[in-house]
């Protein structure tokens, strides 16, 4: 790994913002304002564990910018969670809501914990403890959390219930990504991946790649990765999954694997390793496969300056947040690899979360087909807005997406008289 390459996600987020601000010609005051979150909260969470002892957890909530609307962002439970990770994700959420042009700002939350080793009871007590600390800054018109890494609809339901217990009113819109029986939206479960695959479909059109004949690989076979694997053939009219990986390793078959069978295997065995009719492949080797589409769907910094030169995919669709460092991004651009940036490619999740907020606010719920159609419309329009900027300025898609998003947020800040 290159020693001069910073992998601090917030340093990366600020660097990306600086580059966009320079290209847009933003004044220094606006640029400095957009480089930092407007509000940050760090909380201490005492939780009684199953053994009767208390464990102390550190929690975070960062509201990055609300110029375009109430802030919105997921809640991650991870042993390596830090304030800088949460800051970066809140920044990316700000640009994400702007690039798909929904009337929201960006936020993010996190708790430093090891959820894999916790019981359901411990998770519920942690979820409720978090809301008791940060509930006062949440609300449909303030800030709305959603699931992220190692959180899920059940955890969101506990959080919503705790909030409603505190305020003594029904407020389903305070949390999105909830189970459908308590105000969740149809189509939320696969929305992140579905939106990404819609974007890939449009990218294939402009890059003159036959969608139905694409080969693809998925790095990170969690929620988004599994849905991408199964949705790709249906939305693109075909396609061959040749490789997939998770934290246990990867599997490869040049003739293709049945994505539905691989998902079933993963759900039964907890890993993709040893899937029948496949051979082992490392995560690093998977990234360098000669495929049409590569879906990075794991955590940050998977594609770095040390491995980017070996990547051969024609299109990269970043379903993970921050999977490519700025140095790697430059290398990919120079090598002619078409990279669909995270805050465009994975914006389907927040878009359907926005649909959920809308449905909660007027207590009327849409059918699945309506959600899919509206998501397709939003993602397709967002892609072509960014592609137009890409063509006009002959820059990478990430730079083009940043210019579209940052310009929209900066305009809202100026109209409000903030800068």
Looking at residue 300, what is its pLDDT?
Answer: 78
Q: Are 141 and 70 in contact (CB under 8 A)?
A: yes
pLDDT the model gives residue 5: 56
Compute the distance between CA of residue 32 and CA of residue 392 in angstroms, rounded to an integer.
Answer: 27
**Two domains, one topology: 38-174 and 191-345:** yes
Residues 220 and 229 sit within 8 Å (Cβ to Cβ): no
CA-CA-CA-CA dihedral for 312, 318, 319, 323, to nearest 10: 100
The CATH topology of domain 38-174 is Rossmann fold (3.40.50)
pTM of the model: 0.92
**Successive 10-residue mean pLDDT values, the chain, 419 residues:** 63 91 96 98 98 98 98 96 95 96 98 97 98 97 94 97 97 96 95 97 96 96 95 97 95 97 96 94 94 92 92 96 89 94 93 97 96 98 96 91 97 98
Which are the catalytic amino acids?
108
Angle, alpha carbons 21-108-36 (nearest 5°): 35
Q: How many C-beta atoms surround the C-beta of residue 407 within 10 A?
A: 17
Q: Please say whether the structural domain 191-345 has been given the CATH code 3.40.50.720.
A: yes
* Nearby residues of 183 by Cβ (< 8 Å), 6 or more positions away: 160, 172, 173, 356, 359, 360
Q: Are 101 and 66 in contact (CB under 8 A)?
A: no
| 286 within 8 A of 219, measured Cβ to Cβ | yes
Contact criterion met (CB below 8 Å) for 405 and 95: yes
With a CB cutoff of 8 Å and minimum separation 6, the contacts of 304 are 1, 2, 5, 7, 325, 327, 328
Q: Delimit the domains of the chain by residue range.
A: 38-174, 191-345
Tokens of 292: 């049409």
Q: How far is CA 95 from the centre of its chain?
A: 12
CA–CA separation, 125 vs 40, rounded Å?
23
């Amino acid at each position: 790994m290159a020693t001069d390459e910073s992998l601090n996600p917030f340093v990366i987020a600020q660097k990306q913002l600086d580059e966009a601000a320079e290209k847009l010609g933003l004044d220094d005051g606006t640029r400095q304002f957009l480089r930092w979150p407007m509000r940050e909260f760090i909380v201490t969470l005492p939780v009684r564990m199953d053994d009767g002892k208390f464990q102390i957890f550190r929690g975070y909530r960062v509201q990055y910018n609300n110029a375009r609307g109430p802030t919105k962002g997921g809640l991650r439970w991870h042993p390596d969670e830090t304030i800088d990770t949460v800051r970066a994700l809140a920044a990316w959420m700000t640009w994400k809501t702007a690039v798909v042009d929904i009337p929201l700002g960006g936020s993010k939350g996190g708790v430093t914990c090891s959820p894999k080793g916790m019981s359901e009871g411990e998770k519920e007590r942690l979820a409720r403890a978090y809301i008791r600390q940060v509930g006062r800054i949440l609300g449909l018109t303030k800030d709305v959390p959603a699931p992220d890494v190692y959180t899920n609809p059940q955890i969101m339901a506990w959080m919503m219930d705790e909030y409603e217990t505190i305020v003594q009113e029904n407020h389903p819109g305070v949390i999105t990504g909830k189970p459908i029986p308590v105000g969740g939206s149809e189509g939320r479960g696969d929305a992140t991946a579905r939106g990404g695959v819609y974007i890939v479909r449009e990218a294939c059109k402009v890059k003159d790649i036959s969608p139905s004949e694409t080969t693809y690989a998925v790095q990170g076979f969690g929620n988004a990765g599994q849905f991408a694997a199964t949705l790709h053939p249906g939305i693109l009219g075909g396609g061959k999954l040749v490789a997939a990986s998770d934290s246990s390793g990867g599997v490869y078959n040049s003739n293709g694997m049945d994505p539905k069978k691989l998902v079933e295997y993963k759900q039964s065995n907890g890993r993709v390793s040893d899937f029948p009719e496949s051979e082992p492949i490392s995560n690093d080797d998977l990234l360098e496969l000669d495929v049409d589409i590569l879906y990075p769907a794991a955590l940050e910094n998977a594609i770095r300056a040390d491995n980017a030169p070996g990547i051969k995919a024609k299109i990269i669709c970043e379903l993970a947040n921050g999977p490519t460092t700025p140095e790697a991004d430059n290398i990919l651009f120079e090598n002619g690899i078409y990279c669909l940036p995270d805050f465009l490619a994975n914006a389907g999740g927040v878009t359907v979360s926005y649909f959920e907020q809308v449905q909660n606010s007027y207590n009327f719920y849409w059918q699945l087909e309506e959600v899919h159609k509206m998501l397709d419309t939003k993602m397709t329009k967002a892609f072509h807005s960014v592609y137009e900027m890409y063509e006009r300025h002959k820059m990478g898609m990430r730079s083009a997406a940043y210019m579209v998003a940052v310009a929209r947020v900066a305009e809202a800040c100026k109209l409000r008289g903030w800068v």
